[in-house]
Amino acid sequence: DTEVTQTPKHLVMGMTNKKSLKCEQHMGHRAMYWYKQKAKKPPELMFVYSYEKLSINESVPSRFSPECPNSSLLNLHLHALQPEDSALYLCASSQDGGGQADQPQHFGDGTRLSIL
């Protein structure tokens, strides 16, 4: 079992809906990440939080809004998504939030999102 827990596992929503994805880790990690993964492709970085502050936004459209309420939780708020946003959304965490390269990132099993 993964130590990064994501809910829900599956989500189907219409283009006008508002929903949120949740991620939780209890490893004491100080960096948390959101990735988007399309079928048969590697994960693409969306956001990085370091010590609960947004550090990297990879030019993600504003219909995706991340939030880090505390060091263990990470949310991704979704609004007015497009069909091309259908994908697997992965959360990851790593121990150090200070930019050290050699801190392993641990992934959750993702939320499979389908936009109707």
Residues at the site binding another protein, with contacts judged by CB under 8 A = 2, 4, 6, 31, 40-43, 45, 48, 50, 55-56, 90, 94, 96-97, 99-110
**CB 15, min distance to another protein, A:** 25
CA 58, 46, 93, 73 dihedral sign is positive
**CB 67, min distance to another protein, A:** 18
Element counts in the chain: helices (H) and strands (E): 0, 11
Cβ–Cβ < 8 Å for 77, 18? yes
**CB 45, min distance to another protein, A:** 6
